[in-house]
Amino acid sequence: MLSDIHDTVRQNLESFGHKHTHLMAAFCLYGAYTVGSTALGWSWRFFKTFLRPSKNLFKRYHGGYVVVTGATNGLGLGYARKFAEKGFNLVLVARNSEKLNTVKSELLRSHPDIDIKLIQFDFDKPYTEEGYASLKESLDMMGDISVLVNNVGAIGTNLFEDMPIDIITRVMNVNLIPQVVMTKFLLPRLLRRSKEEGKRTAILSVSSAAHYIRLPKSTMYSCTKSFNKTFSDVIGKEYGKYIDVMVTTPGPVISNMVNEKAPFVITPEAHARWVLSDLGYNTETFGHYRHWMSTTMFRLPLLGTQFIKMRDRYLNDKSKSSN
């Protein structure tokens, strides 16, 4: 019985192949193209991730000041440390003056030759000219800005119906407005530096793997992180000729948002090191190879469901240990 079916299918396929030789050739070509481009894509990814040497960023951007928002903890502090190691001066922006001063002292202890300026500013508000005037004035007074790191961000972890409205608006204020407004404030200067002074500049923005793996219990976070990704992609298309515009979509990094028990977690310093090794080459990066691999894997439908379950367990444990 089975062999009859097998014979019939084979005969039908053969006669289809004889009748439609062009179509069969097209199928074969498409198959070869798919296999070839996937193999090439993976080889290129492997080369970029593990073998390509980093650019000398200090030379590429001719030193200058790196502005980092949300610089007192987590990823922002990781970026500040790595840029300081490379010899850049820093402008650190965050909400808490005390923490800003502590970070400044810590960085100056290990890098006494760099200059560090501080801007205390709370991004948790909608944009108004008056509300943002002090930030604009402070930035206008800063010297030669070469790199903007749009890092500041906030998260809320709850089902949407249980998410308090003030957390919803906080996530929107802190994740959306600063990246747009900081870019708007500094873009003319970055462009001028690049076009008129011949010194290249950069805008590095922090999105999240939540852009790809849309996370339940973090609705606003996932949506705002997709905005960050799209915003950077489009700004890159507009200004990539003059400015290195890159967005990063990391997975879990140890910070106030995520503790060391999260799956696939890495340190902020490791994250910053991997991201900076792609700056000047890429328009987007996961940063650490572990986040490239985990995000690629968890974007597959069945594995994605497993990741959501794993994250739920992590969130439950985290809330139990914080109670």
Ligand X SMILES: NC(=O)c1ccc[n+]([C@@H]2O[C@H](COP(=O)([O-])OP(=O)(O)OC[C@H]3O[C@@H](n4cnc5c(N)ncnc54)[C@H](OP(=O)(O)O)[C@@H]3O)[C@@H](O)[C@H]2O)c1
Residues that bind ligand X (CB under 6 A): 70-76, 94-96, 99, 121-124, 151-154, 174, 206, 208, 250, 252-253, 255-258
Q: Considering the complex, what minimum distance in angstroms separates the CB of residue 163 from ligand X?
A: 16
Segments in 20-126 forming alpha helices (H): 21-46, 57-60, 74-85, 97-110
Question: Could you give the residue ranges of the DSSP H alpha helices within 73-154?
Answer: 74-85, 97-110, 129-141
What Cα–Cα distance (Å) separates residue 7 from each residue in 2, 19, 24, 248? Answer: 9, 18, 20, 53
Considering the complex, state which of residue 178 and residue 236 has its C-beta at the smaller distance from ligand X: 178
**Distance in Å, CB of 242 to ligand X, minimum:** 25
Q: To 5 degrees, how large is the angle CA 212–CA 214–CA 218?
A: 135
Closest separation between CB of residue 264 and ligand X, Å? 10
User: Rounded to the nearest whole angstrom, what is the least distance from the CB of residue 70 to ligand X in the complex?
Assistant: 3
**To which residue do tokens 């074969």 refer?**
28
CB 298 to ligand X: min, Å? 14
Nearer to ligand X, 17 or 216 (CB): 216
CB of 207 to ligand X, least distance (A): 7
Task: Give the HSE-up count for residue 96: Cα atoms under 13 Å, Cβ half-sphere.
Answer: 9
Cβ proximity to ligand X, 85 vs 124, nearer residue: 124
Would you say 68 and 104 are in contact if contact means Cβ atoms under 8 Å apart? no
Distance from C-alpha of 78 to C-alpha of 70, rounded to nearest angstrom? 11
Residue 266 DSSP one-character state: B
User: Residues of 141-164 as b/e, b for ≥16 C-beta within 10 angstroms?
Assistant: ebeebbbbbbbbbbbbbbeeeebe
In the complex, the smallest distance separating the C-beta of residue 274 from ligand X, rounded to whole angstroms, is 13
Tell me whether residue 67 or residue 200 sits nearer to ligand X (CB atom): 67
Q: Which is nearer to ligand X, 253 or 276 (CB)?
A: 253
- C-beta of 95 vs 217, nearer to ligand X: 95
Q: Is 302 helix (H, G, I), strand (E, B) or coil?
A: helix
